[in-house]
Amino acid sequence: MSELFVSLLPFILGSALLPIQIIIVILILNNPNQGVLKASAYVGGMTLMRLLQGLVFGLVLYNSELADDEQGKSLVVLTLVTVLGILLLVTAYRQWRTEDDPDAPPPKWMAMIDNLTPLKALGFGFGLLLICGKCWVFTLGAIGQIAEAELGQTASAIAFLGFVLLAEILLLLPILISLALPKRSKSLLASISSRLNQYNRPIVIVVSLVFGLIFLYKGLTGLLGF
């Protein structure tokens, strides 16, 4: 299990270190009307999407012909890792060239934040993850790594739930801070949001470049070894 955690760590970090998702949580929390409830619903929507991905693609990998083919599963994982590396390097280049991130939510979505209801916040989180190409590959890569470990259905489900929790830990922390420090949290979270906005571009460039090179190297060396 410890080896699986090490192999999942890049996917966890890549999923967690997306500043725009954290900024959205903080913006929702700063809403004076049911901010914590709406932020929780937003994260719940993202969780629901990830669980749906895990259910569908986990069952596909587990019940397909690849389930008894170690090389087949490895090929799927390595292909996903290679694609992810390419996507991240493209993102780093586009950010360096000051182009918009294709996975960033449309401006009109950002304008909706103040008017979100808890139900709309749930759909907002679900939809944001649905259109995020990098998030898809991070999650599918994690599913592939878990399937490749051959832990059995129960242990695989627990491992995937662990991935989901750790991938969303930086989204849950602001909510927990708001609950624990209701009076001080607004100024603290506003400061964090300001910093993330200020350094969003360099953070995305560094994270995308580092993980892009890691995933591309891992994917290509593995594919060339077949």
Q: What is the pLDDT of residue 71?
A: 62
Please give the average per-residue pLDDT across 52-78, as a whole number.
68
Q: What percent of the chain has pLDDT over 90?
A: 23
Q: Is the pLDDT of residue 106 over 70?
A: no
Of 211, 218, 222, whose CA–CA distance to 13 is shortest? 211
Name the least confident of 34-43, 136-145, 165-174, 181-190.
181-190
Please give the average per-residue pLDDT across 85-108, as a whole number.
74
Q: Is the pLDDT of residue 65 over 50?
A: no
Tens of pLDDT, residues 33-64: 888 999 999 999 999 999 999 988 877 666 55
Tens of pLDDT, residues 147-179: 878 788 888 889 999 999 999 999 999 999 988
Confirm if 78 and 225 have CB atoms less than 8 A apart. Answer: no
If you average pLDDT over every residue of the chain, what do you get? Answer: 82
Q: What is the pLDDT of residue 72?
A: 58
Q: What is the pLDDT of residue 52?
A: 94
Confirm if 83 and 137 have CB atoms less than 8 A apart. Answer: yes
Which phi and psi angles does 105 have, rounded to 5°? -65, 145
pTM of the shown model = 0.83
Of 54, 47, 208, 197, whose CA–CA distance to 129 is shortest? 47
